Amino acid sequence: MKNWQLKLHKWTHWEYWPFPLVYYPMFPVWLYFSLRARSFFFFNAANPTMKNGGMAMESKMQIYDLIPQGNYPNTIYISKQENLENALNKVFSSRISYPFIVKPDIGMKSFGVDKIRNQEEFRSYFLRMHDDFLVQELIPYQNELGIFYVRKPGEEKGKITGMVSKKFLSVIGDGKSSILQLIKRNPRSHFQLKALQKKYGFKLNMVLDEGKEFILVPFGSHTRGAEFRDVSHLLNDELLETIDGVCSKVEGFHYGRLDVLYNSFEELSRGEKFSIIEINGAGGEPTHIYDPKHSVFFAWREIFRHWKMMNDISIMNHKKGYTYLSFKDGRAMLKDSNIVEQQIKAI
């Protein structure tokens, strides 16, 4: 696609709009909820056991430690203070083998997440990382679901407020075109071209056999090209029981999105063959809004609906003695989060 065609596609499909353009129109709504809670940074009380309520600057490892064992991948914490040899010893003593996943301990939007296939790739990642990171076993399931979960304080059972299916960014070969040519035919992959060229280099000149799929980004991240589909209509009582059975055991967790890898939807509903790869707290978006079929007005309604639930939960927890963030600490959190985002984008 030509540059003007890409730009036109971007501005006529709101899912590609910059974050501020989507959220700044919602600022009066946030002010309303802030006045209601008497705090601009009320979200701190939404999930009391997560730093900043899980809005930003929270440790992923600390959140994994809250999840019942067996429901998330084998994960280890690597301090930036460690040397490469010690880091590798920790990985292999934990029975994590190649290929495995690496991700910043404090991160966002899947920036800095990568798949490591050998020692050289691990060494390169280790040297590029600015801070502590996690090494996580690779879960073999090929399906990913984002499940938004809400449970008010005092409620015995929570609810699922939205679900999104994530299709990893990929191309399908035609036996004639190079991977690079295939990438440029689809705006979704073309928007990721610079990052893909950096990752794959000359490999993009390879011609795929007809019908062969090549997964460009093996992560369900919208910012990295994954296609999101709203599958909230698939919610059933069995799935809710499974998810509620896990989330109700996560101390202090009331509001957020679970990102889940699973083998089949039927097995996931029964509580079989699935793994929670991440829990996003107050900063988690109801990502079913990014289904291309939804308008920006639908997105704004869903954001409003979820912010109201977060606001209600925060006020209820505040009455129980849990604190809000001070304005000073909240501003510092936002500043630190912006710095971290710029750092991990460069990885």
Query: How is the chain split into domains, by residue range?
Result: 3-73+139-167+226-345, 169-217
- What integer best gives the mean pLDDT of the chain? 95
Q: What average pLDDT does range 163-176 have in this prediction?
A: 96
pTM: 0.94
Q: Which tens digit of pLDDT belongs to each residue from 256-303?
A: 999 999 999 999 999 999 999 999 999 999 999 999 999 999 999 999
181-201 burial code (b ≥16 CB/10 A, e <16): ebbbebebbbbbeeebeeebe
Which of helix, strand or coil describes residue 45? Answer: helix
Place of tokens 């429901």: 71
pLDDT of the residue at 291 = 97
> 189, 191, 144, 180: which is closest to 164 by C-alpha?
144
Residue 18 pLDDT level (bands cut at 50, 70, 90): very high
